[in-house]
Amino acid sequence: MKNDGKFIEQYMALALQPVMRGAHQRADIQRNLDHIAELARAAVWLSAIDLPVRLVTVPEGALQGFTDEIFDWDHVDYVRKMAIDLPGKETEFLGDLARSLDTFIIAQAKAKHPEFPERFFNCGFVIDPRGKLIHTHYKMQVFAREHSTVPHDVWDRWIELYGEGLDAFYPVVDTEIGRIGCLVCMEGSYPETARGLAMNGAEVLYRPSYPEPYVSNGLWEVQNRARALDNTMYVVAPNPASYYLTPQTENPLDVVGGNSMIVDYQGRVISNHQSGGTASYAGAIIDIEALRQYRARSLWGNWLKDLRTEQYRLIYDQPIYEKNRCLTRPPLKHAENDKVVRAATRRLVDRGVWKLPAYMQEKTAVKKPEVEDEEAEE
């Protein structure tokens, strides 16, 4: 759905902050969906007093929790038991909710992929006010203990399927409320994913979820504001409230920290719900026409126009992290995956990019990680 040059009126965007329950079987997801729907209806009812609510965002983990990561589940077993289909019954439920509220909904889930039957991916997805799934983003950067497959893990096959253009990795959907791009959690820790989405036209960036202590120590806010400022875009960043680790958990844990926020295209926090304990939301006015005017007229803060791209290519000439590592095997469990990460660290040390601390230099040469180095194999 494209805007076709029509004037976009100001609207309210909401970053929901639901209580999250770890799903241990597929049926557990419905309890989370029911809670999301209840919170969304209350939030829209209250916020529409100001302006029409056209965008509701749901944080990472709100549907399924982070069960596979916390308990180090087998990847293939999770595909069979817990990963959802896009589209599927869960997106149909959210589609019904979008229709009833006349709003776009953006959410996240760990989902199957038809071309990789024994892999699941971490996906952000957009549902339009007619209830249709119109956009899917496959998370490209995960933290060491996350089991999700990313396109880089199946690089050669991904390129065969989708090519090497921006749409293959940084897809953006053009809608009646602006151009929307998604990045999920850890992706927001790196400037490249947001920059790729911006270079593909994104105006509103969905960036859900970050854990403690990195919310309370300020990393979450710094990253959200930097991604907005660097790319002259809005960032809508929902984060869960408290977390029930299992369906039997009696006392919720505040391990995610809440602090859902919305940041404008000049990096200013325009809404911030700091509490992390109970379900709530952040809401703010989005003005796409103002953003577009600023991009078109400013000689200063719309940074993309000044990029001298040739000089930045040199930064990434040498690979650091092993690609194609999940073409023939599923993502590794925690202990094995840590070795892959240590190998990447070693490459940076060996190249002289990083220097070891004195106490490590004084020891015998740092033992190489017990993992096969793809570069050596090649």
- 35-39, 191-195, 294-298, 330-334: which range is least confident on average? 330-334
User: In 10 A of CB 251, how many CB atoms?
Assistant: 7
- Residues in contact with 3: Cβ distance below 8 Å, sequence separation at least 6, in sequence order: 174, 175, 176, 178
Is the pLDDT at 372 greater than 70? The verdict is no
Percentage of the residues of the chain whose pLDDT score is greater than 90: 83
Nearest CA to 103 among 57, 149, 169?
57
User: What pLDDT is recorded for position 377?
Assistant: 46
Single-letter code of the amino acid located at 229: L
User: What pLDDT is recorded for position 335?
Assistant: 82
- On average, the pLDDT of the chain sits at 93
pLDDT tens for residues 18-31? 999 999 999 999 99
pLDDT tens for residues 122-144? 999 999 999 999 999 999 999 87
87 prior amide bond cis, ω within 30: yes
User: What pLDDT is recorded for position 151?
Assistant: 97
Say whether 215 sits in a helix, a strand or coil.
coil
297/305 Cα distance (integer angstroms): 11
Question: Span 108-125, mean pLDDT?
Answer: 97
User: What pLDDT is recorded for position 4?
Assistant: 67
122/141 Cα distance (integer angstroms): 10
pLDDT tens for residues 290-341? 999 999 999 999 999 999 999 999 999 999 998 999 999 988 788 888 888 8
251/230 Cα distance (integer angstroms): 40
**DSSP line for 184-198:** -GGGGGSHHHHHHHH
28/47 Cα distance (integer angstroms): 29
Question: Structural domains in the chain?
Answer: 11-310 (3.60.110.10), 332-377 (no CATH)
User: What pLDDT is recorded for position 340?
Assistant: 86
User: What pLDDT is recorded for position 2?
Assistant: 59
Nearest CA to 143 among 267, 60, 81?
60
Nearest CA to 232 among 294, 155, 278?
294
User: What pLDDT is recorded for position 143?
Assistant: 85
User: Residue 262: in which H helix or E strand, if any?
Assistant: strand 260-263
Nearest CA to 63 among 97, 21, 99, 105?
21
128/94 Cα distance (integer angstroms): 10
Q: 315: which 2 tokens? A: 């930064």
- Residues in contact with 319: Cβ distance below 8 Å, sequence separation at least 6, in sequence order: 375
348/359 Cα distance (integer angstroms): 18
* Strand-strand pairing, 133-138 and 116-127: antiparallel
pLDDT tens for residues 252-273? 999 999 999 999 999 999 999 9
pLDDT tens for residues 225-242? 999 999 999 999 999 999
Q: What's the half-sphere exposure (Cβ side, CA atoms, 13 Å) at 37?
A: 17
- Sheet bearing 133-138, strands edge to edge: 133-138, 116-127, 104-113, 53-57, 11-17, 280-286
User: What pLDDT is recorded for position 376?
Assistant: 43
Q: 306: which 2 tokens? A: 């000044």
pLDDT tens for residues 56-75? 999 999 999 999 999 999 99
Band of the pLDDT at 378, cuts 50, 70, 90?
very low
User: What pLDDT is recorded for position 374?
Assistant: 47
Nearest CA to 232 among 178, 282, 189?
178
